[in-house]
Chains A and B, each alone.
Chain A
Amino acid sequence: MMTLLGISPQLLFGQLLIGLINGVFYAMMSLGVAIIFGMLRIGNFVHGAQYMLGAFGAWYLLHLPDLFPGLGLPSLGYWWALALVPFAVGLIGAGMERLFIRRVYDLEHAYGLLLTVGLAMVIEGLFNVGYGAAGQQYNIPDSLKGGVNLGFMFMPYYRLWVIVAGIAVCIATWYTIERTKLGAYLRAATENPDLVRAFGINVPRMLMLTYAFGVGLAGLAGVMAAPIYQVSPQMGQSIIITIFAVVVIGGMGSISGAIFTGLMLGMIEGLTKVFWPQASTTVIFVIMAIVLVFRPAGLFGKETVAAHAADMSTARPDSILENGKLWLVILGVGGAILPFLVYPVFGMKMLCLALFACAYNLIFGYVGLLAFGHAAFYGSSAYIAAYTAASWGFPTEIAILSGVAVATVIGALFGWLAIRRQGLYFAMITLALAQVVYFYAIQAPWTHGEDGIQSVPRGYLLGVIDLSDNMNMYYFVLAIFLIGFAAIYRIVRSPFGQVLKSIRENEPRAISLGYSTERFKLLAFTLSAMLAGLAGGTKAIVFQIASLADVYFMTSTDALLMTLIGGVGTLLGPVVGAVIVVTMQKEFATLGSWVIVVQGTAFVLCVLFLRKGVVGTLEDWLAARAERRRIAAGGEPAAIARGAH
């Protein structure tokens, strides 16, 4: 049999076919994400969960008699699912738009992403509770069983159907948007929604229908995917990050670009599986990095007006809660007492995560960039610290510093790639880059895959103090936390911090004053990665393990959630957020998968009702109280009459 570069045509075409199938799903999904982003300016992170709903919808219809015994319901097969499920999922999407997403249109883009992250956690968590990690089997419909031998390969009918139907749906969508009257409304509303409303078109309803359509497309993809992949609660989570990367590569503003990029990348992924299997999980993310260097707007993206850093900070600089020196002392004293009140290991977990959240807050709160991949820095540092301590016998403090060094280098590299884009893009890019680290950790032999690096010795501090004693370890961790906390306070209140503040508040003006703002953002991002690395390395020593969970994107989500609950851009917010989240995780630990549901709900509630977080709200309340008292004492209202002209 003829071979190509030592590879049999069966393997080559087989993988190309799988790649093409994946590409069809990428195209359908990124099409939905691109439409939703274009019209609603929402980075629809819940798209993966909606795709999963589609697959489960098909499975439910098939098992109607088992699910509702005694009602005499029929079992509805694949074709019924294909007809009904996309509408049902679209309807759910419409409901979500109405109830949640509509409320964040007028807010910073970051909130849309955070909201959909929360919704994804809730939906996927609920299915996890119901079905666990195990996948459900869904059989290929009888009418599409079998296949045809093409000579060089065997082509199953179902796969052929998916390719043809998927591409047809993509083309139909493209046609609708680019060539019909309805599409003209959509395109016009994307450009100038106010004017379209002023023509008498109900744009809010159109936004809802657009969202429902994009979601329905995900549902359709889910139904089509059900017989190919396992129907499992996790199926959406793994695909959504890839979809975000596809969207970044394709660029916004081009429907055909999204379709083409999706198909292309699926095939490239398939080819990589043939020639360099280890790289196949990361190839899309690496391509994304390369595209970002040479074409920041994406392959088909139109030049967009640069969005600038967003001021999401909720802090009042003059509040007593922002007095770093005071709180350093209070946290020091409180931290010293803590191990007598709670189990020291629990205290250490709190401190590590609080430091992690503080590090994250440096970039999210103080610079206004929604980074979404801090797990990469936290986790890589954990791995390096664990490995150097366990395998090379590094002293504890050197092991942690090694981890910090690696996290800093990765941070500088990722920052350099991501800082070219702003807003939602920045989030998608950091998320995708972090996935590279995650997949590397899955495959590299030295990280021991699912097991992680275990039994890391805690060692002796400075060769003297035995850290295997929990109290000794605790005070060491407390010292590290306080150093990190003080460092962040110093960074924020330094000449450099002043420039960061100016960038956050008015980036065009900062540029006009002569600041090359990207360099400042890059340094801040690198410092943030470094401190996240400090938290991760310390955590690996405390718990004597570095595992995949540390580099998984849920860890990035934790940092976000802690910062959000506590108060973005406040001094104490991340600490308070860490205490709340860690306590919550401990209290709900017995509930298993419900923890994810609870965390997702917390996300949603925070975005909708507590955007200032606990500390931000408290600072507002204190300021309002002080003002009331001053006026009661006969003082003048502080605010000068606002200029009216």
Chain B
Amino acid sequence: MSAPDNNQADNIIEARGLTKRFHGFAAVSEVDLDVRRHAIHALIGPNGAGKTTFFNLITKVLQPTEGTIRFNGRDITAESPAAVARRGIVRSFQISAIFPRMTVAENVRIALQRPVGTSFHFWRPESSLDTLNGRVDELLDAVGLLSLRDQTAAGLPYGRKRALELATTLALEPELLLLDEPTSGLGGEDVDRIADLIRKVSANRTILMVEHNLSVVSKLANTITVLARGKVLAEGTYAQISTDQRVIEAYIGGEE
């Protein structure tokens, strides 16, 4: 962690001039973005604003056409997705990313397993991973899935799948948690449950999330960046953003 400096915020992510072009079409164009440590930072914007593309750039699923990304001051622009994950940037997916035919407990354990260092040990029995069970159960308990630990993940209702995905992500103890529309496709109660969960896990952690549900954003996020047409339109707190004329226009359509 860098030395405390009152003039300069302690940023976990510093993206500079980030641009991604597809067939000449710039989905993300010269975006500068700082994410403060321990913030819950939301990325919002109308459809097609480039939020998911930006997300994919940060997690290195896509390689930027131009620009740099620094994580804890280190340039990670050229690193692979798996390497970035090992550094502590872990993402969730818009479509729930679970391992459908593994049990709920196995889903979480696969994430806990990597730091143990035996992932290439093909000669060890699976029971060598039993030492992780305590931690698995803790994580499942935190998201309310403990009673379903031996169920096959595919059979869970959608909301539970999202919770499972979050538990798996948290298992990695990510320093930076990237959530891609954590409440999309969820019903009312499930939305509240996931929002509570996000708040709960945000302690000592930085969260960058793409979210459409503005009520969730207003409750959770302390910084909001509005993207429109691949560029940063505005940045600030919910109060600042929600009264910004440019933002309102971007959302419900500009004057003709």
The reply, when asked whether chain A contacts chain B directly with Cβ atoms under 8 A, is: yes
Tell me the complex Cα distance, A614–B172, Å: 40
Task: List, in ascending order, chain A residues with CB within 8 A of B128's CB.
Answer: 494-495
Nearest Cβ on chain B to A639's Cβ, whole angstroms: 5
Nearest Cβ on chain B to A253's Cβ, whole angstroms: 14
Task: List, in ascending order, chain A residues with CB within 8 A of B172's CB.
Answer: 513-514
A499 to B187, Cβ gap below 8 A? no
* Residue among A514, A638, A644, A645 with most chain B CB within 10 A: A514
Task: List, in ascending order, chain B residues with CB within 8 A of A506's CB.
Answer: 97-100
Tell me the complex Cα distance, A171–B100, Å: 48
- The answer to whether A640 has its CB under 8 Å from any CB of chain B is yes
Task: List, in ascending order, chain B residues with CB within 8 A of A202's CB.
Answer: none
Tell me the complex Cα distance, A502–B113, Å: 12
Nearest Cβ on chain B to A362's Cβ, whole angstroms: 10
Known: A505-B100, A513-B172. A490 touches B90 (CB 8 A): no
A512 to B116, Cβ gap below 8 A? no
Give B150's nearest chain A residue, CB to CB.
Answer: A318
Q: Which of A421-429, A443-451, A516-524 contacts B (4 or more CB under 8 A)?
A: A516-524
**Count of chain B residues with Cβ under 8 Å from any Cβ of A?**
49
Task: List, in ascending order, chain A residues with CB within 8 A of B93's CB.
Answer: 508-509, 512
Task: List, in ascending order, chain B residues with CB within 8 A of A520's CB.
Answer: 119-120
B158 to A514, Cβ gap below 8 A? no
Tell me the complex Cα distance, A506–B155, Å: 16
Task: List, in ascending order, chain A residues with CB within 8 A of B82's CB.
Answer: 511, 514-517
B85 to A511, Cβ gap below 8 A? yes
- The answer to whether A498 has its CB under 8 Å from any CB of chain B is yes
B161 to A511, Cβ gap below 8 A? no
Task: List, in ascending order, chain A residues with CB within 8 A of B86's CB.
Answer: 514
B100 to A498, Cβ gap below 8 A? no
B168 to A495, Cβ gap below 8 A? no
Task: List, in ascending order, chain B residues with CB within 8 A of A642's CB.
Answer: 155, 157
B187 to A523, Cβ gap below 8 A? no
Nearest Cβ on chain A to B147's Cβ, whole angstroms: 11
B101 to A505, Cβ gap below 8 A? yes
A512 to B118, Cβ gap below 8 A? no
B99 to A512, Cβ gap below 8 A? no
Which B residues from 56 to 113 make CB contacts under 8 A with A?
59, 61, 80-83, 85-86, 90-91, 93, 97-102, 106, 109-111, 113
Nearest Cβ on chain A to B213's Cβ, whole angstroms: 13
Which B residues from 115 to 170 make CB contacts under 8 A with A?
116, 118-126, 128-129, 151, 155-161, 168
For this complex, into which size category does the number of interface residues on chain A fall?
A: 35 or more
Give B88's nearest chain A residue, CB to CB.
Answer: A514
Which A residues from 22 to 70 make CB contacts under 8 A with B?
none
Give B151's nearest chain A residue, CB to CB.
Answer: A640
* Residue among A313, A493, A517, A523 with most chain B CB within 10 A: A493
- The answer to whether B248 has its CB under 8 Å from any CB of chain A is no
- The answer to whether B219 has its CB under 8 Å from any CB of chain A is no
Task: List, in ascending order, chain A residues with CB within 8 A of B48's CB.
Answer: none
Which residue of A505, A510, A513, A645 is within 8 Å of B187 (Cβ)? A645
B98 to A515, Cβ gap below 8 A? no
Known: A494-B125, A496-B122. A512 touches B101 (CB 8 A): no
- The answer to whether A124 has its CB under 8 Å from any CB of chain B is no
B102 to A493, Cβ gap below 8 A? no
A494 to B80, Cβ gap below 8 A? no
Task: List, in ascending order, chain A residues with CB within 8 A of B126's CB.
Answer: 493-495, 497-498
- The answer to whether A491 has its CB under 8 Å from any CB of chain B is yes
Nearest Cβ on chain A to B124's Cβ, whole angstroms: 5
Nearest Cβ on chain B to A423's Cβ, whole angstroms: 19
B85 to A495, Cβ gap below 8 A? no
* Residue among B99, B111, B124, B185 with most chain A CB within 10 A: B99
Tell me the complex Cα distance, A642–B106, Å: 20
A495 to B158, Cβ gap below 8 A? no
A495 to B81, Cβ gap below 8 A? no
A639 to B100, Cβ gap below 8 A? no
Tell me the complex Cα distance, A512–B110, Å: 12
Give A514's nearest chain B residue, CB to CB.
Answer: B85
Task: List, in ascending order, chain A residues with CB within 8 A of B109's CB.
Answer: 498
Which residue of B97, B120, B151, B156 is within 8 Å of A509 (Cβ)? B97
A512 to B90, Cβ gap below 8 A? yes
Task: List, in ascending order, chain B residues with CB within 8 A of A641's CB.
Answer: 157
- The answer to whether A311 has its CB under 8 Å from any CB of chain B is yes
Tell me the complex Cα distance, A641–B90, Å: 30
- The answer to whether B205 has its CB under 8 Å from any CB of chain A is no
Which residue of B83, B114, B122 is within 8 Å of A490 (Cβ)? B122
Task: List, in ascending order, chain B residues with CB within 8 A of A509's CB.
Answer: 93, 97-99
Task: List, in ascending order, chain A residues with CB within 8 A of B110's CB.
Answer: 498-499, 502, 510, 513
Known: A513-B90, A523-B120, A527-B122. A643 touches B159 (CB 8 A): yes
Tell me the complex Cα distance, A482–B191, Å: 52
Task: List, in ascending order, chain B residues with CB within 8 A of A527's CB.
Answer: 122
Give B118's nearest chain A residue, CB to CB.
Answer: A495
Task: List, in ascending order, chain B residues with CB within 8 A of A273's CB.
Answer: none
Known: A311-B101, A514-B85, A643-B158. A499 touches B119 (CB 8 A): yes
Known: A516-B80, A517-B82. A495 touches B155 (CB 8 A): no
- The answer to whether B9 has its CB under 8 Å from any CB of chain A is no
Nearest Cβ on chain B to A339's Cβ, whole angstroms: 31
Tell me the complex Cα distance, A510–B98, Å: 9
Task: List, in ascending order, chain B residues with CB within 8 A of A643's CB.
Answer: 156-161
Tell me the complex Cα distance, A643–B168, Å: 20
Closest 8 CB pairs of A and B: A643-B158, A643-B157, A514-B85, A496-B122, A509-B97, A505-B99, A514-B86, A491-B122
Q: Identify 6 residue pairs between A and B in the complex whose beta-carbon atoms are under 8 Å apart, listed by A's number.
A: A495-B126, A498-B110, A506-B97, A511-B85, A512-B90, A642-B157
* Residues of A that sit less than 8 Å from B by CB: 311, 313, 317, 490-491, 493-499, 501-502, 505-506, 508-517, 519-520, 523, 527, 638-645
16 A-B pairs besides A506-B98, A642-B155 with CB distance below 8 A are: A311-B101, A494-B128, A495-B113, A495-B118, A495-B119, A496-B122, A497-B126, A498-B106, A498-B126, A506-B99, A509-B99, A512-B90, A512-B97, A513-B85, A514-B90, A516-B82
